[in-house]
């Protein structure tokens, strides 16, 4: 038993068991929230997949064909995701994980360690894909009254399908870690981030979803389907997986594609193991080396900070936070991911030519302005919980330095607030203005949305800073751990409620105003007053959240010092 | 027995370890001294098989660490300066897992785990999560793990850091008992009193090179002061004149 590679996975299992049996404060709330969200997402995916399958079944052969294409499309999307996820996860599991210092000092065969780490990499990289595919395939299977073998085949398909791209991603990491000079993890992750952004853009270019909305503009039906089929190639594992599942959905068995999937997965494992046995130790050894760190000195930040009308204390706190942030690899890589998401978001508005769809009128466009405001609000909440909320915790074990210095907690926390506010405000304001411009919404709504974003930024950044100070985790290993703590979940809950409340308070008077203006009617005075009250209420709610959040944070820090 | 033969480790253009050779015989406690950044930890990590040397060879109980890593590691106990312990495991779980890594199995494991926990005065905390332990307790737990599989050689990096006087005394006693049983111990330390008190032989490393090697008396004579305390000898050999400048600055 001890010689099996699975033995090396035991600490993770035991740790999970211990975590489950020894609850911390807020665990139940967090479990309930995430559980409810999970059930919600599962339900939406299940019914969504079932509805689409049901609709397609009305088109007989055409529906069959589209379902078959759809399955390959789903797998093709996951192929890119799994490859990138494999690269990032392998960097941690094979090279940077702390427990490697323990495991590599022990007399463990390289092959055994490889299988244990690879199993962990595959599991960590692909669990989201499995969580997504389960309700989707269940929905398809239920509507098509699929035989039990369909579900067995699905499980047997997902395993090799996940192994192939993750093995490719792991091989990329193995190569990168051996090629790059030691401890250039920052460069490495930057490169990976760029690769991810590039892959997203390429994927979008390949898919060209706008063509789906312009089926009538294609020369004929064959052209339309060839446009749909163009990114799918029979040489890709995504195609094999789609074909295999489609065959089993009809009660058949596609031995050719099953064989292709499994043999490729096994070959990938063997090839990767050989490469790992040859190059892992040299790569790991390089990742442990610490030559003179090459880092940017950011003299410009010092110069810029001198111009700001801040006290010396605030200026130094700001300079320190900005420099640490810019030198922190993990922050950078996540910023790049965020940038990719923003690009996709804006790209969607650019390619969605709403004017071509007959039912879309100016009214619907204006409704989209509020959908856009909601999206920007959620992006803001996500950015705040990931980057602003952990700012106090990020002081970590060095927090004693702040507490022992003659800096008031008030000054300290407000410095954190301004450091977080500027980038969040710039990001979300740009996002909202650009998206509304691309949609062509009414100028009045553009102005309302832009002002609402300013108020929401102050509210959410203030709340994140305050709650971050109230529920700090100075011993956390990374900001993600802080964001997922009780305080982080509490912040997200309040933030979502606030965004919804502000949208409701702003949307009603705005649409009412547009309703009257489009008809050239005069708004009744009573209604005008109520509209004004709504706008003021949204502003007051935002300001109250901002200031009460900050006050609560300062009080918590003061209490900690006393 | 640990044999280090002409070990070199380069990080790009920087040579961290430059031709280090030393030998730790069975039953010997060998002190490995040097200022911060001299190359002690790098050398110990190469011995433990965590770093690949640029050139040179390390033998642990006759097994080449590069050619036979599993055999070499199986007979070595390594105690790093910054040890990793799974925080969400209990002390008992951690030790049982560690035993498994070294191929210990069966009924004897629990008995051996208890024996080590008793030895390092941690038995009361066997079922407590490691995350609740103090630094000193974690240090002692790592030592439990290092001695669990009865290694014939031990490489230990700064064992006394963060230990209270009782803990330090305990560790010293354990090391002496192990060396009495023939275990070769290579110990890097900054605590010169500990080195003077415990080590039969010393190697002093500076800027990656061994500058003095031998018994405490040999090293004293090398520094040119037969009756000096080891601290004075160490400072003279490693450039302690900076202390005077520091004194003036303060």
Is the predicted pLDDT of residue A216 greater than 60, yes or no? no
In a domain, B80, yes or no: no
In a domain, B207, yes or no: yes
C-beta atoms of A104 and B98 within 8 A: no
Question: Considering only CB atoms, which chain A residues are within 8 Å of B103?
Answer: 2-3, 107
CA distance, residue A279 to nearest chain B CA (Å)? 12
CA distance, residue A253 to nearest chain B CA (Å)? 43
Cβ atoms of B140 and B173 within 8 Å: the answer is no
Question: Considering only CB atoms, which chain A residues are within 8 Å of B13?
Answer: 291
pLDDT tens profile A300-310: 888 887 888 77
What dihedral angle (degrees, nearest 10) is formed by the CA atoms of A127, A240, A49, A149? -90
Instruction: Quote the pLDDT of residue B92.
Output: 92
Any B CB within 8 A of A3 CB: yes
Going by pLDDT thresholds of 50, 70 and 90, the confidence category of residue A295 is low
Cβ atoms of B130 and B85 within 8 Å: the answer is yes
Domain span at B208: 2-75+151-249
C-beta atoms of B88 and A14 within 8 A: yes
Is the predicted pLDDT of residue A208 greater than 70, yes or no? no
Q: Among B124, B149, B174, give the residue marking a domain's end.
A: B149
* B11 → chain A, closest CA residue: A291
Of A1, A99, A285, the CB nearest to B86: A99
Residue to mutate among A96, A107, A284, with most B CBs inside 10 A, is A107
Q: Where are the alpha helices (DSSP H) in A180-235?
A: 185-207, 221-229
Phi, psi torsion values for B25, nearest 5 degrees: -85, 160
* A109 → chain B, closest CA residue: B70
Distance CA B173, CA A534 (A): 76
Domain locations in chain A as residue ranges: 26-288, 353-561
Instruction: Quote the pLDDT of residue A176.
Output: 84
- DSSP conformation letters of A320-363: HHHHHHHH-HHHHHHHHHHHHHHHHHHHHHHH--GGGSTT--HH
What dihedral angle (degrees, nearest 10) is formed by the CA atoms of B32, B33, B39, B44? 20
Question: Model ipTM?
Answer: 0.80
pLDDT tens profile A155-168: 999 999 999 999 99
Instruction: Quote the pLDDT of residue B46.
Output: 94
B120 shares a domain with B66: no
Q: What is the mean pLDDT of residues A8-32?
A: 80
Q: Among B149, B167, B192, give the residue marking a domain's end.
A: B149
pLDDT tens profile A426-440: 988 988 898 888 877
Q: What is the mean pLDDT of residues A79-85?
A: 84
Q: Among B102, B128, B149, give the residue marking a domain's end.
A: B149
B159 shares a domain with B52: yes
Cα separations in angstroms, B185 against A102, A325, B34, B152: 19, 43, 17, 9
Phi, psi torsion values for A247, nearest 5 degrees: -65, -45
pLDDT tens profile A488-534: 888 988 998 999 999 999 988 988 888 888 788 888 888 889 999 99
Instruction: Quote the pLDDT of residue A549.
Output: 95
B163 shares a domain with B70: yes
Of A107, A285, A292, the CB nearest to B102: A107
Is the predicted pLDDT of residue A398 greater than 70, yes or no? yes
In a domain, B29, yes or no: yes
Is the predicted pLDDT of residue A314 greater than 90, yes or no? no
B61 shares a domain with B174: yes
Distance CA B31, CA B204 (A): 8
CA distance, residue B156 to nearest chain A CA (Å)? 13
* B105 → chain A, closest CA residue: A2
Going by pLDDT thresholds of 50, 70 and 90, the confidence category of residue B225 is low
Of A2, A15, A101, the CB nearest to B100: A2
> What CATH number has the domain bearing residue B10?
3.40.50.300
Going by pLDDT thresholds of 50, 70 and 90, the confidence category of residue A192 is low
What lies within 8 Å, CB to CB, of A273 at 6+ separation is A111, A114, A115, A118
Any B CB within 8 A of A99 CB: yes
Distance CA A394, CA A504 (A): 35
C-beta atoms of A1 and B105 within 8 A: yes
* A180 → chain B, closest CA residue: B12
B235 shares a domain with B163: yes
Is the predicted pLDDT of residue A182 greater than 70, yes or no? no
Instruction: Quote the pLDDT of residue A360.
Output: 52
In a domain, B8, yes or no: yes
Is the predicted pLDDT of residue B244 greater than 60, yes or no? no
Instruction: Quote the pLDDT of residue A372.
Output: 81
Cα separations in angstroms, A486 against A32, A347, A385: 12, 35, 12
- Number of separate domains in chain B: 2
C-beta atoms of B129 and A18 within 8 A: yes
Q: What is the mean pLDDT of residues A120-131?
A: 90
Of B12, B88, B101, the CB nearest to A19: B88
Is the predicted pLDDT of residue B8 greater than 60, yes or no? yes
Q: What is the mean pLDDT of residues A19-44?
A: 79
């Amino acid at each position: 038993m001890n010689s099996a590679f699975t033995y090396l996975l035991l600490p993770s299992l035991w740790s999970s068991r211990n975590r489950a049996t020894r609850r911390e404060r807020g665990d139940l709330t967090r479990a309930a929230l995430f559980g409810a969200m999970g059930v919600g997402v599962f339900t939406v995916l299940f019914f969504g997949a079932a509805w689409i399958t049901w609709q397609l079944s009305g088109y007989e052969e055409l529906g069959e064909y589209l379902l078959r294409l759809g399955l390959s499309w789903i797998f093709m999307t996951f192929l890119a995701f799994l490859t990138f996820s494999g690269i990032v996860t392998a960097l941690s599991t094979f090279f940077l994980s702390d427990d490697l210092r323990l495991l590599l000092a022990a007399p463990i065969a390289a092959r055994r360690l490889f299988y244990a780490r690879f199993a962990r990499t595959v599991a960590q990289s692909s669990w989201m894909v499995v969580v997504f595919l389960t309700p989707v395939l269940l929905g398809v299977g239920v509507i098509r009254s699929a035989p039990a073998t369909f579900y067995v085949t699905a499980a047997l398909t997902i395993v090799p399908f996940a192994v192939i791209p993750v093995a490719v991603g792991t091989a990329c990491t193995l190569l990168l870690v051996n090629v790059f000079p030691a401890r250039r993890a920052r460069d490495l992750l930057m490169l990976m981030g760029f690769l991810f952004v590039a892959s997203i853009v390429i994927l979008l270019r390949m898919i060209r979803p706008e063509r789906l909305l312009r089926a009538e503009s294609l020369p004929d039906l064959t052209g339309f389907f060839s446009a749909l089929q163009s990114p799918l190639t029979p040489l890709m594992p995504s195609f094999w997986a789609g074909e295999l599942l489609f065959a089993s959905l009809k009660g058949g068995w596609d031995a050719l594609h099953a064989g292709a999937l499994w043999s490729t997965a096994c070959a990938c494992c063997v090839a990767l193991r050989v490469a790992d046995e040859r190059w892992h130790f040299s790569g790991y050894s390089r990742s442990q080396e610490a030559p003179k760190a090459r880092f940017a000195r950011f003299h410009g930040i010092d110069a810029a900070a001198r111009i700001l009308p801040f006290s010396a204390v605030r200026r130094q706190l700001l300079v320190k936070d900005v420099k640490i942030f810019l030198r922190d690899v993990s922050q950078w890589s996540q910023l790049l991911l965020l940038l990719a998401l923003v690009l996709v978001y804006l790209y969607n508005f650019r390619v969605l030519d709403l004017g071509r769809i007959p039912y879309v009128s100016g009214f619907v466009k204006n409704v989209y302005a509020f959908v856009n405001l909601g999206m920007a609000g959620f992006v803001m909440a996500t950015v705040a919980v990931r980057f602003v909320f952990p700012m106090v915790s990020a002081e970590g074990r060095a927090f004693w330095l702040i507490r022992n210095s003659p800096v008031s907690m008030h000054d300290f926390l407000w410095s954190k607030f301004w450091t977080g506010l500027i980038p969040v405000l710039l990001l979300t304001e740009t996002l909202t203005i650009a998206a509304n411009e691309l949609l062509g919404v009414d100028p009045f709504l553009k102005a309302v949305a832009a002002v609402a974003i300013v108020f929401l930024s102050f509210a959410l950044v203030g709340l994140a800073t305050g709650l971050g100070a109230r529920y700090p985790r100075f011993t956390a290993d990374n900001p993600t751990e802080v964001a997922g703590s009780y305080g982080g979940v509490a912040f997200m809950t309040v933030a979502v409620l606030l965004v919804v409340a502000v949208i409701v308070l702003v949307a009603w008077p705005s649409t009412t105003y547009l309703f009257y203006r489009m008809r050239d009617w005069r708004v009744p005075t009573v209604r005008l007053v109520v509209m004004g009250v709504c706008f003021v209420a949204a502003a007051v709610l935002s300001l109250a959240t901002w200031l009460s959040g900050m006050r609560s944070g300062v009080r918590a820090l003061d209490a900690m010092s006393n | 027995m640990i044999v280090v033969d002409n070990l070199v480790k380069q990080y790009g253009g920087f040579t961290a370890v430059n031709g280090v050779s030393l030998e730790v015989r069975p039953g010997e406690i060998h002190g490995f001294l040097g200022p911060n950044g001299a190359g002690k930890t790098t050398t110990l990590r190469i011995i433990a098989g965590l770093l690949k040397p640029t050139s040179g060879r390390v033998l642990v109980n006759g097994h080449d660490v590069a050619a036979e890593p599993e055999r070499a590691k199986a007979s070595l106990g390594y105690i790093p300066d910054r040890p990793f312990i799974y925080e969400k495991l209990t002390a008992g779980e951690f030790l049982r897992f560690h035993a498994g890594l070294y191929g210990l199995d069966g009924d004897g494991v629990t008995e051996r785990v208890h024996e080590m926990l008793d030895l390092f005065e941690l038995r009361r905390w066997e079922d407590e999560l490691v995350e609740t332990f103090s630094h000193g307790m974690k240090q002692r737990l790592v030592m439990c793990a290092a001695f669990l599989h009865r290694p014939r050689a031990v490489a230990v990096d700064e064992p006394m850091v963060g230990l209270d006087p009782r803990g330090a005394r305990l560790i010293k006693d354990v090391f002496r008992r192990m060396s009495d049983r023939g275990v070769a111990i290579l110990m890097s330390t900054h605590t010169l009193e500990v080195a003077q008190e415990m080590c039969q032989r010393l190697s002093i490393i500076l800027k990656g090179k061994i500058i003095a090697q031998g018994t405490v008396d040999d090293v004293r004579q090398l520094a040119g002061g037969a009756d000096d305390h080891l601290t004075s000898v160490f400072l003279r050999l490693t450039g302690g004149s900076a202390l005077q400048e520091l004194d003036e600055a303060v």
